[in-house]
């Protein structure tokens, strides 16, 4: 795993903290979708670091099984070897943080995360 992918993993863990690793990997897919759409120089790492700048991170317990599963599968997601499961989403939010009106269409729900396009 590269340094850049470990930072992407940190962003995914923070965005979906307390959720299963599948939700965390889906956040990585959103960062990848954003890069593919041309956001932040078409770079997944820059998309994740921009999110971290707006959402100062906590740090995971590296013994957490969900975090370990995230890291074990993250490289394949970033490389595009895993098909997008978010329906092309460009945004994500935890259900409890969602406002009554969400701009865009909710295209997928994974665990307690909404994925929006």
Position 83 confidence tier, pLDDT thresholds 50, 70, 90? very high
**Residue 96 contacts residue 112 (beta carbons within 8 Å):** yes
> How confident is the model at residue 102, as a pLDDT?
78
Sheet holding 113-116, edge to edge: 91-94, 113-116, 106-110
- Give tens-digit pLDDT for 21-51: 999 999 999 999 999 999 999 999 999 999 9
Reply yes or no on whether the pLDDT at 100 is more than 80. Answer: no
Reply yes or no on whether the pLDDT at 99 is more than 80. Answer: no
pTM of the model: 0.95
Q: List the domains of the chain with CATH numbers.
A: 3-86 (1.10.10)
């Amino acid at each position: 795993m590269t340094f850049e992918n470990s930072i992407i993993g940190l962003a995914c863990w923070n965005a979906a903290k307390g959720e299963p690793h599948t939700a965390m990997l889906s956040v990585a897919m959103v960062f990848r979708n954003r890069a593919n759409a041309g956001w932040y120089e078409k770079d997944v790492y820059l998309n994740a670091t921009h999110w971290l700048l707006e959402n100062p991170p906590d740090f995971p317990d590296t013994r957490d099984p969900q975090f370990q599963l995230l890291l074990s599968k993250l490289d394949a997601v970033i490389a595009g070897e895993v098909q997008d499961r978010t329906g092309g989403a460009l945004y994500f939010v935890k259900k409890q943080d969602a406002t009554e009106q969400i701009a865009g269409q909710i295209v997928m729900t994974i665990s307690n995360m909404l994925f929006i396009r």
